[in-house]
Every structure is written in C-alpha cells, then in structure tokens.
Amino acid sequence: MKYTKGSILSVLFLFYLYILLKVILFKFSSVSMAYLWQQLHWSLEYPQYMEYGLQRANFTPFESISQNLHRLSDRNDQVNFFGNIAIFLPCGILVGLWTKRSTTNSLLGAATISFGISLALECAQFVFAMGSFDVDDLMLNGLGGLLGWWILFVIRREKALAQV
C-alpha cells in the first residue's frame, strides 16, 4: 500500500486534534464521549452551569494576557501563556506542509484553521462546562498557528538558499 503525503498529513492532523481535545477539553485525562454526553446533559438540565460559565468567561481582549505577563514568575501563568501558543505551533506547521510553497494563502489558511479550531474548543469548554471561554486564548492559539507556519517558512527558505 502506498501512502501519499496528503494521507500521512491527514493522519497526523487527526492525531493532533485528538491531542488538542485531550489537553484543552479533558485536561490530560482520558477522552470519553460518554463523559461529554453526561456533561452536555448536565449543562442542558442545569442552565445555571452555563450562566456561571458566562460569568467566568473573558471577553475583554488582552485581559488575561496582561495578567499572565505581569505574573510570569507563577508557573500556572507561564503554562497558560506559553502553552496556548505552543500547542498550536503544530497546526501552523501541518497547514504549511499541505501547501507546496509558503504563500499568503497558506498563511491565511494557518491563521483561519488555528483560530477556527481554537474557537470550537473554547465554545466546547463553555457548552460542556469543562473550562472557561477566554478570548485571549483565541488570540494566543492563533499566534501559535502563525508562528508554526512561520517556522516552516523559515526552514523552507533556508533549505532553498542552501541549495543555491
């Protein structure tokens, strides 16, 4: 059986999505559809959990980023700030690998896909009452996707220059 670049990247991307679910939604515990169903049922049966989630949500850009930067000596703030960027680096790299050249379209694709996946996960945290929505996470995750794309761009450029 012959594997194509696209099929290998697709499998890698699915594995990456699984890791994102495990880390962001399930906080490193096992991924369980039964647990998700239970959480959804609980959220719908007791809407006060979603109301509480809305009260805890951060819709103010740069609010939690500013807090994290002012408290970088705290391990949790370091993990929150740098972790939100680092966990989306592979997204930008994988999107960049799907394209033959690093173009504006692949840059926009990396940004759009990173932001879209991040938005879906932030909304899922709210709906399933498994965390809190934070607009700053969206920005940091999007930045991570762009940085991943940029790292691949630089590697490709250096490789091309070395061949000249």
The per-residue pLDDT for range 133-150, each reduced to its tens digit, is 999 999 999 999 999 999
Taking residue 90's Cβ as centre, other Cβ atoms within 10 Å add up to: 19
**What pLDDT is attached to residue 102?**
65
Residue 6 pLDDT grade (very low, low, confident, very high; cuts 50, 70, 90)? confident
The whole-angstrom separation of Cα 151 and Cα 117 is 20
Q: What percent of the chain has pLDDT over 90?
A: 75
> What pLDDT sits at residue 143?
97
Q: Are 114 and 92 spatial neighbours (Cβ–Cβ below 8 Å)?
A: yes
Distance CA 14, CA 16 (A): 5
Q: 133-157 burial string, b = 16+ CB within 10 Å, else e?
A: bbbbbbbbbbbbbbbbbbebbeeee
pTM score, two decimals? 0.90
Write down the mean pLDDT value for the chain.
92
Instruction: Copy the structure tokens of residue 124.
Output: 């899922």
- 1 pLDDT band, cuts 50/70/90, is low
pLDDT digits (tens, 9 = 90+) for 76-121: 999 999 999 999 999 999 999 988 666 778 899 999 999 999 999 9
Percentage of the chain beyond pLDDT 70 is 98
